[in-house]
Structure 1
Amino acid sequence: MSILVGTASWTDKTLIESGAFYPRGCNTAEARLRYYASLFPIVEVDSSYYGIPTAANSALWVERTPPGFVFDIKAFRLFTGHQTEPKVLPRDLQAELPKTDKKNLYYKDVPTPIVEELWARFFAALEPLRAAGKLGSVLFQFPHWVTPAPKSIAHVMHCAERMQPFLTAFEFRHESWFDEKHRESTLRMERERGIVHVIVDAPPDVTRRAHTVWEATSNELAIVRLHGRNAQTWSGAESAAERFNYEYDDDELSELSPQIQEISKRVARTHVLFNNCYRDVAQRNALRLIEILSG
């Protein structure tokens, strides 16, 4: 039973600007990652959602972290069905896009040769982490408009197939994936394909979030992602920092601890990642949860 606790970024803008986590003088990418990895055994890479990562960067992450450190990588936003501005694609591939007036592209809008090249570059970026034994899972965070409708299910299945043999996790945002009608079929789909079910902690009684379901669908891994419980900012916040501005108190962390320990008994490894990334809140919550889990 292995439980790794960390945060969903180490380079969040508000974290760096706060000056509350990194020591004075810790102001380079290398120094920040080395310091973060001295305190935590795992981190989630958020930048890979916004742009295709590079193998060169992955190699640097390997070099700057101790043996056994783990990276969970978020899938590129085009793959998950999010709107994607052409300017975030690699520059050489931007030049190959057909002319369009669209501000945003979706997966279906991008010519197949470019899609294939994007997948190839994404896999190449994962390789240094995989080879070093530091790749945890690849997280697909599907947007609210991806529902259990046939067209969306087909794309979800397509992503599952493309990611073989990488350990892959799915986090759904539309509540219908785990409603009474679809819960069992969603879990069955994940189990049959070896997909890691992401257990979500988020504000109760709000829309645009999947139900919290404490189930494991992979023998290898369970993931718990903690988004905070700020119902007031969950919808309509101008930035992610505002949306996730929430600090779990000791009572809430103590309530979560036995649930995390119980789910960890069903899998080889459990990743717990705080996504309440506002200033150093996530880091403080993660350190406190480590203390609570340690007893």
Structure 2
Amino acid sequence: MIQIGCTSFKEHTYLTGKKESSLFEYAAYFPLVEMDTSFYAIPKQTYVKEWLKQVPERFQFIMKLPKVFTKHEELTEGESLKELAQELLESVKPMIEQGNLFCLLAQFPPYFDCRRENVDYLRILRQLFPQIPMAVELRNNSWYDSTFLARTRAFMQEQKFSLVIVDEPKKLSTTIPFDSYVTNSSFVFFRFHGRNDIGWNATGPDAKRLRTNYRYSKEELEELQEAVAAVKDQSKQVAIIFNNNAGGDAAENALQFKDLLQLDFENLNPSQLGLF
């Protein structure tokens, strides 16, 4: 089964013509969403329950791990990863129980490189969430160096991580390659960030906006379609997230990709509410 969605549900003006769309409206177009709000804070369970009320029965959520789990910030005094992991699991418990949690996503920063300390940390992370499907996105290309690539893949398989297949700028020496290798037979996860070579390494308050400001061409989508087709039979489920949100292109590109793959999503929300 192939499912397509976008990062966040609010900012896709293309779908509704509105500056911000509701989750109910988003779920009329896609069966899957990546929630990045959880990167900044563990959501309250009341919010999770409200999200579930707005989506069809089989809708799937990818929840981004809070940044303290991915080395974007340090633990504060008195915190422990074990306690925070339990807090997160309690928060998303309704999703787990109802079958709406597709996976947790651990997106690591560029300075998380391939060395013993970080390999050991990934083992700890797996132990914190032993029963939950987990995807790992690496942004340091040392993991993909010819010296380590085979061991990186084998390690991800051993730990039952789905190593995210990432599309990002191609002309920079610091970016990671598009490595369409399946490390988990339960699910494959593609994330399409766009190919904005100039904006990818931007810093400052506009960095996020510049990094994902990209519109995929028809030719590029066809190239990505071939990659998806090549691996779709190696895993039970395929998740594809378009993260090129900054210029408002993600939703349109995602729908174009759906057409290329000749998919017909069932069990979506109605596109508009009737009068009666």
TM-score, with structure 2 as normaliser: 0.90
1:260 matched to 2:228: yes
Which residue in 1 is equivalent to 2:121?
Answer: 155
1:208–1:46 CA distance, 2 compared to 1 (3 A) = farther
1:60 matched to 2:50: yes
Which residue in 2 is equivalent to 1:76?
Answer: 66
Extract unaligned runs of 5+ from structure 2. Answer: 264-276
Between the aligned partners of 2:229 and 2:14, the Cα distance in structure 1 is 30
Match of 2:239 among 255, 261, 271: 271
**Aligned residues: CA RMSD:** 1.7
Which residue in 2 is equivalent to 1:247?
Answer: 215
Q: What percentage of aligned pairs have identical amino acids?
A: 26
- After superposition, the C-alpha distances for 1:135-158 in whole angstroms (9 at most, x for unaligned) are 001000011111111111111211
Which residue in 1 is equivalent to 2:192?
Answer: 226
* Match runs of 1:54-133 below 5 Å: 54-83=44-73, 106-107=74-75, 110-111=77-78, 113-133=79-99
3-state SS, counterpart of residue 234 of structure 1: coil
Q: Is the 8 A contact 1:221 1:271 kept in 2?
A: yes
Which residue in 2 is equivalent to 1:179?
Answer: 145
- After superposition, the C-alpha distances for 1:273-294 in whole angstroms (9 at most, x for unaligned) are 0011124310000000000100
TM-score, with structure 1 as normaliser: 0.84
3-state SS, counterpart of residue 140 of structure 1: strand
Q: Is the 8 A contact 1:7 1:274 kept in 2?
A: yes
3-state SS, counterpart of residue 27 of structure 2: helix
Q: What's the offset of the Cα at 1:211?
A: 2.0
Q: Kindly tell me the number of residue pairs found equivalent between the two proteins.
A: 261
Between the aligned partners of 1:283 and 1:20, the Cα distance in structure 2 is 7
Between the aligned partners of 2:77 and 2:214, the Cα distance in structure 1 is 37
1:145 matched to 2:111: yes
Q: What's the offset of the Cα at 1:258?
A: 1.7
Q: What's the offset of the Cα at 1:181?
A: 0.8
Q: What's the offset of the Cα at 1:259?
A: 1.1
- After superposition, the C-alpha distances for 1:111-133 in whole angstroms (9 at most, x for unaligned) are 3x543332221111121111111
Q: Is the 8 A contact 1:7 1:286 kept in 2?
A: yes
Moved >6 Å (runs of 4+): none
Between the aligned partners of 2:77 and 2:243, the Cα distance in structure 1 is 30
Extract unaligned runs of 5+ from structure 1. Answer: 84-105
Which residue in 2 is equivalent to 1:38?
Answer: 28
3-state SS, counterpart of residue 7 of structure 1: strand
Which residue in 2 is equivalent to 1:89?
Answer: none
3-state SS, counterpart of residue 198 of structure 2: helix
Match of 2:164 among 193, 198, 223: 198
Q: What's the offset of the Cα at 1:221?
A: 0.2
| Residue identity matched to 2:127 | E
| Residue identity matched to 2:244 | N
Which residue in 2 is equivalent to 1:21?
Answer: 15
Q: Is the 8 A contact 2:192 2:242 kept in 1?
A: yes
Between the aligned partners of 2:175 and 2:3, the Cα distance in structure 1 is 24
Between the aligned partners of 1:284 and 1:20, the Cα distance in structure 2 is 7
Between the aligned partners of 2:142 and 2:247, the Cα distance in structure 1 is 32
- After superposition, the C-alpha distances for 1:18-47 in whole angstroms (9 at most, x for unaligned) are x543245x86xxx61011001001000000
1:194–1:115 CA distance, 2 compared to 1 (3 A) = closer
3-state SS, counterpart of residue 288 of structure 1: helix
| Residue identity matched to 1:61 | W
User: Is 263-272 or 203-212 further displaced after alignment?
Assistant: 203-212
1:206–1:284 CA distance, 2 compared to 1 (3 A) = same
Q: Is the 8 A contact 1:54 1:124 kept in 2?
A: no
Between the aligned partners of 2:24 and 2:177, the Cα distance in structure 1 is 35
Which residue in 2 is equivalent to 1:5?
Answer: 4
